[in-house]
Chain A
Amino acid sequence: MPAVQETIDQVRQIDVDQYKYGFETKIEMDKAPKGLSEDIIRLISSKKNEPEWMLEWRLEAYRRWLTMDEPSWARVKYPKIDFNEIHYYAAPKGTTGPKSLEEVDPELLKVYEKLGIPLKEQEILAGVEKSKIAVDAVFDSVSVVTTFKEELKKAGVIFMSISEAMREHPDLVRKYLGTVVPQSDNFYATLNSAVFTDGSFVYVPKGVRCPMELSTYFRINERNTGQFERTLIIADEGAYVSYLEGCTAPQRDENQLHAAVVELIALDDAEIKYSTVQNWYPGDKHGKGGIYNFVTKRGDCRGKNSKISWTQVETGSAITWKYPSCILRGDGSRGEFYSIAVSNGHQQVDSGTKMIHLGKNTSSRIISKGIAAGVSDNTYRGQVSAHRKAENARNFTQCDSLLIGDKCGAHTVPYIEAKNSTAQFEHEATTSKISEDQLFYCLQRGIPEEQAIALIVNGFVKEVIQELPMEFAVEAQKLIGISLEGSVG
């Protein structure tokens, strides 16, 4: 079966040792001492010139975090993390926050050039064929630059680093921060609430359709640091925004922690589309090093007829622990989750989503594709629930796993909870190599075997790929290393 073989070969090619973004940049850094204490939190807060209430909020989270235990229910194994061996703040020297491009250290700009991230507005504007993407570049603990700010401002869209937003739009931040993922949510979210250093803030005002794609590019560079970013996106009534997130890190023998929190809020008739291509360093082929990616992402469809859609392509990280969720609070709101999770080498993925139906006539759709290779473990874990008053809640879930090699594992753990008789839930999951039934069906219709297999493999992830914005779709396909389009014949 040549197509299958090709798929297997291509997955092998993206073997963990061939991580392209593993370079390290020597940049003079301003670091907080290792360890975590109230003093460190005060330091972070003062470095960022934060208002007093923010410091109080952080300290409250920290005190709560001290009483919490690390969760152990996920299907991942890793040695105990020493939270006192981490630098909670690391910023390139001389950056107190993003400023104009001219002022940014050229070394830093080179990093992004190397990563292929367009930061120079002129360049992008000059290129007729390239579409415009506004980028917020986060380097270790701080946002170094945000592009297209002026142009976005004209449309009324606020796009800046969250530290900047805290100073410039404190009321907005205060009104929404922590309202989707509360301080007490879970161990890592609480830790993040205490120590988050930067991230992006987006506010799209009433009735505005954001004129370009917004994106944040996260880069971990410094040794022994953790990256704790916090993203807050608000789409006011009738607004629309599409947001992309990418991430990479250098190749190192030690594990590094990334514990982010993302909060999305969609008011009446608003729509947020959030896409992630996650390519943190996954560790080497012996399972040494790599990022621990423990992330809390949640969207709140607060208004009626609002919509939040998560699309993720997960190829990196030694461990992924991530469940982008939707709270369908507004009547008629809709949540979507599209995911491709590829695990290879010693990677462990435990990822999925939650769709919590609270309002009337809410609907959700989950499409999850897991591809496990090497000695990796790939788990889909998801929850769909309809509460008592969630009349006519509707869910469709499909999670498929493809196994390549006999040393990996693929697992599916869905939780389906219906408390309303008008709810209609459908869930299906499959795990296989290539379905004999599908193949037979194609053959019966006169499609040659080779083409039929290509068709099926193409089809396996296509549903998710096509949810990504164009530029990311291309990157994602490259990343997965499975050339789906025209891989055979």
Chain B
Amino acid sequence: MNMQQAIKMTAAETALVDAYTAQIGDLPGDGAVLSLRDMLVDELKTAGLPTRRVESWHYTDLRTLLRAVPSADPSAFADRVDPIVPGSSVLSVRNGQADLKSVPEGIAARSYTESLIDGSAVAGLAVLGADDAIGRINGGLVRGGLEITIAEGAEFQAPIEIQVAQSHGQAHTRFPISFGAGSKATVIERHLSTNAEASFVSSVSDVTLAEGADVIWIIVQQQGPADTHLGQIRFDLGKSAKLHLFVINAGGKLVRQELHGRASGEGADLTLRGINLLGGESHTDVTFTLTHAVPHTTSSEIIRNVIFDRARGVFQGKILVAKDAQKTDAKMACNTLLLSDEADMSAKPELEIFADDVQCGHGATVADIDHTQLFYMLARGIPEKKARAMLVNAFVAEIVEELEDDEALVEALEGVISAWLEKHA
């Protein structure tokens, strides 16, 4: 290993490197996987965690914000919990280890640990670029996860819940998932902690949609109040593939959720909806990039943030329209309710456009609750606290309701939101 030391490592950086060194003989995979891990950890050592000088981490100075990393504890144990939507098929990963006891029909799943051991995971382990700190940490330390293949034309009535539960310590998981042509499914990627002890979680999902696949992918992040969650989803949309990506952040102390996509087949369509509920002293960053690589692709993004207390919200969204990707239609909006004078919100919605025959736009707003709306409700005798709660709820519920085709799903997500609001508002 190249032991070049460029920076003075912080406690968190040291803890991550130590976690690697301590497990080195024990982490699955050797040969190419091992040398890639070595390289990634080495990069972490020399470059350190990203600071605000790294443009894509401008508002989340991970090096400063990440004060400590709990050490990995192989004896950690998380119980399986009920799925969010009753009747879902559950695939669970607890404390980083896949549980393959009940794989629903039509799904081919195997433990990602096996892919690490047989070396087939190596190609997917590469980072997305020099700024990909999540890919680097995860690639260096990943132990498990699930590799899932959805057969061509397969359709599922009930949602598939990928339940990633953690009690404490560290977990680094990966989910390479491919949807066959014409398949149709709803997947809930759920991250939760089973107690209030601090855990450090990184998770990378690598999702591919073949021609005509129609997928609803929902990320529900419900980590504990002391947790660090570094999540990333990479997705590639084939010809006429349709992805409705829905992200709810309702937990964690330090959260960065990255969404990196590419519309690479004509007629591909992405709908992204995000709800970020922030309270206490938490910091939640949603960073999104989408490349419209070919002509005739569409996307629409709406992110709603609700920020209480001393929390800090970040949204970075970048839509890139490649040269020749004519007839792209992309719209992005980020709306924030800033409900405390000690809270703050930073937004950077970017457009990068290299084709002329396109329709692209973005909008961003930051404001408190509309006083005329509040007045309207007070005038009708609704107490202020309740009126505020109703307005906040309406602000986010609007975009959940777009999933109206699945009533049970809408109800479940509304449940997640109202449970959070009851606790924090």
- Interface stretch, picked from B217-225, B345-353, B386-394, is B345-353
B359 within 8 A of A: yes
- Interface stretch, picked from A38-46, A96-104, A414-422, is A414-422
Q: How large is the interface on A (under 10, 10 to 19, 20 to 34, 35 or more residues)?
A: 35 or more
Q: CB-CB < 8 A to A411: which residues of B?
A: 350-353
CB distance A416 to B346 under 8 Å?
Answer: yes
Closest-CB distance, A231 to chain B (whole angstroms)? 31
In the assembled complex, the Cα of A297 lies from the Cα of B23 at a distance in Å of 54
CB distance B351 to A423 under 8 Å?
Answer: no
CB distance B341 to A420 under 8 Å?
Answer: yes
CB distance B363 to A421 under 8 Å?
Answer: no
In the assembled complex, the Cα of A190 lies from the Cα of B343 at a distance in Å of 35
A432 within 8 A of B: yes
In the assembled complex, the Cα of A435 lies from the Cα of B341 at a distance in Å of 39
- Interface stretch, picked from A117-125, A194-202, A400-408, is A400-408
Q: Which parts of A415-447 form the interface with B (CB within 8 Å)?
A: 415-433, 435-436
CB distance B352 to A406 under 8 Å?
Answer: no
A325 within 8 A of B: no
Q: Which parts of B278-331 form the interface with A (CB within 8 Å)?
A: 323-324, 326
Closest-CB distance, B315 to chain A (whole angstroms)? 9
Closest-CB distance, A115 to chain B (whole angstroms)? 34
Q: Which parts of A352-393 form the interface with B (CB within 8 Å)?
A: 388
- How many B residues have CB within 8 A of the partner chain? 37
A73 within 8 A of B: yes
Closest-CB distance, B300 to chain A (whole angstroms)? 14
A162 within 8 A of B: no
CB distance B358 to A431 under 8 Å?
Answer: yes
A474 within 8 A of B: no
Q: Which residue of chain A has the shortest Cβ distance to B321 in the bound complex?
A: A431
CB distance A415 to B356 under 8 Å?
Answer: no
Give the contacting residue for B351; candidates A404, A407, A429, A436; CB below 8 A: A429
CB distance B353 to A418 under 8 Å?
Answer: no
CB distance A417 to B360 under 8 Å?
Answer: no
Tell me if A's interface is mostly helix, strand, loop or mixed.
Answer: strand
In the assembled complex, the Cα of A430 lies from the Cα of B350 at a distance in Å of 11
Q: Which residue of chain A has the shortest Cβ distance to B308 in the bound complex?
A: A421
A410 within 8 A of B: yes
A-B contacts, CB under 8 A, total: 120
Give the contacting residue for A417; candidates B344, B354, B356; CB below 8 A: B344
A7 within 8 A of B: no
A409 within 8 A of B: yes
Give the contacting residue for B350; candidates A409, A412, A423, A433; CB below 8 A: A412
In the assembled complex, the Cα of A404 lies from the Cα of B336 at a distance in Å of 34
- Interface stretch, picked from B4-12, B147-155, B364-372, is B364-372
Closest-CB distance, A336 to chain B (whole angstroms)? 19
Closest-CB distance, A54 to chain B (whole angstroms)? 34
CB distance A419 to B344 under 8 Å?
Answer: yes
CB distance A415 to B346 under 8 Å?
Answer: yes
In the assembled complex, the Cα of A130 lies from the Cα of B19 at a distance in Å of 77
A413 within 8 A of B: yes
B260 within 8 A of A: no
Q: CB-CB < 8 A to A432: which residues of B?
A: 358-361
Q: CB-CB < 8 A to B141: which residues of A?
A: none
CB distance B365 to A427 under 8 Å?
Answer: yes
B357 within 8 A of A: yes
B373 within 8 A of A: no
Interface centre among B326, B351, B357 (most CB of A within 10 A): B351
With A409-B354, A433-B356, A433-B357 as known contacts, state yes or no: A417 contacts B349, CB within 8 Å: no
CB distance B353 to A410 under 8 Å?
Answer: yes
Give the contacting residue for A424; candidates B55, B58, B366; CB below 8 A: B366
Please list the residues of chain B having a beta carbon within 8 angstroms of any beta carbon in chain A: 55, 58, 323-324, 326, 336, 338-368
> Can you sample 29 A-B contacts with CB below 8 Å?
A388-B341, A401-B351, A401-B353, A403-B353, A403-B358, A406-B323, A406-B326, A406-B355, A407-B323, A410-B351, A412-B351, A413-B348, A414-B349, A416-B345, A416-B347, A417-B344, A417-B347, A418-B336, A418-B338, A418-B366, A419-B344, A422-B341, A425-B366, A427-B349, A427-B364, A427-B365, A428-B364, A430-B361, A432-B360
Which 10 pairs of residues, A with B, have the shortest CB-CB distance?
Answer: A403-B356, A430-B361, A419-B344, A427-B364, A418-B366, A412-B351, A416-B347, A425-B366, A428-B363, A431-B360
Please list the residues of chain A having a beta carbon within 8 angstroms of any beta carbon in chain B: 73, 388, 401, 403-433, 435-436
Given pairs A412-B351, A427-B349, A432-B361, 20 additional interface contacts (CB within 8 A): A401-B353, A406-B326, A406-B356, A408-B354, A408-B356, A410-B351, A411-B351, A411-B352, A413-B348, A416-B347, A416-B348, A418-B346, A418-B366, A423-B338, A424-B366, A428-B364, A429-B362, A431-B353, A431-B361, A433-B356
